[in-house]
Amino acid sequence: MEVKINNSKLELVEGDITKQDTDAIVNAANSSLRGGGGVDGAIHRAGGPKILEECLQIGGCSTGEAVITTGGNLKARYVIHTVGPIYQDGCHREPELLASCYRNSLQLASQKGIKSLAFPSISTGAYGYPVADAAKVALSTIITYLKEHPEIESVRLVLFGHSTLTAYEQALKTLV
Ligand code: ADP
């Protein structure tokens, strides 16, 4: 599924984020930036040790914040690492922190002259955020940003598995 937000493209695809040819891909990292499981592990495996070296140099990242490294051996030139909230019950600032992940990643992209980027579904794996709720937060934050920032030409959400793609498609239909 693909929509236009002013002149920018927003697309939802099922796939593997490590294979994307966008200028940057976003990693759902943990606050230590030392690598981990899920999408984080996949990105470090595919990108090689250079990314971890740069992450260790940066030292860490708070929940809702984002930092940037090069893309190592990936097709993408950069990896933006952001730390999603661990879902408790939805009453511990989870929506606000998840929105910050997307917004801060997009801001970093704008600052670096990145025109295209790919996001995974942040927080919906090991961190337990219900996918339907996370999809609404992710998409509404991205849409708001793209309306104000035409310098970002394309945002792709790369969703792992058909049920995650379907959840994002349903959320997008209610927003555009
Ligand atoms: P978090 O700790 O933020 O929940 P996870 O990596 O556990 O992060 O999961 C986030 C989402 O990323 C999940 O939907 C998971 O299925 C998905 N995922 C795992 N590997 C990949 C990959 N290679 N490409 C895209 N998405 C992936």
Q: Note the pLDDT of residue 15.
A: 98
Q: Which CATH number covers residue 87?
A: 3.40.220.10
Q: How far is the CA of 123 from the centre of ligand 1 (A)?
A: 8
**C-beta 116 within 6 A of ligand 1:** no
**C-beta 47 within 6 A of ligand 1:** no
In the block, which residue shows the tokens 């940037």?
Answer: 68
**C-beta 27 within 6 A of ligand 1:** no
Q: Note the pLDDT of residue 69.
A: 98
- Cα angle vertex 175, ends 68, 38, to 5°? 40
Query: Which range marks the domain in which residue 74 is found?
Result: 2-175
Q: Note the pLDDT of residue 50.
A: 98
Q: Note the pLDDT of residue 155.
A: 98
Q: How far is the CA of 67 from the centre of ligand 1 (A)?
A: 18
R_g of the chain computed on alpha carbons: 15
**Does 40 qualify as catalytic in the annotation?**
yes
Q: How many domains does the chain have?
A: 1
Q: Note the pLDDT of residue 112.
A: 98
Low-confidence ranges of the chain (pLDDT < 70): none
Q: How far is the CA of 158 from the centre of ligand 1 (A)?
A: 10
Could you write out the DSSP letters of every residue in 105-147? HHHHHHHHT--EEEE--TTSSTT---HHHHHHHHHHHHHHHHH
**d(C-alpha 78, C-alpha 161), whole Å:** 24
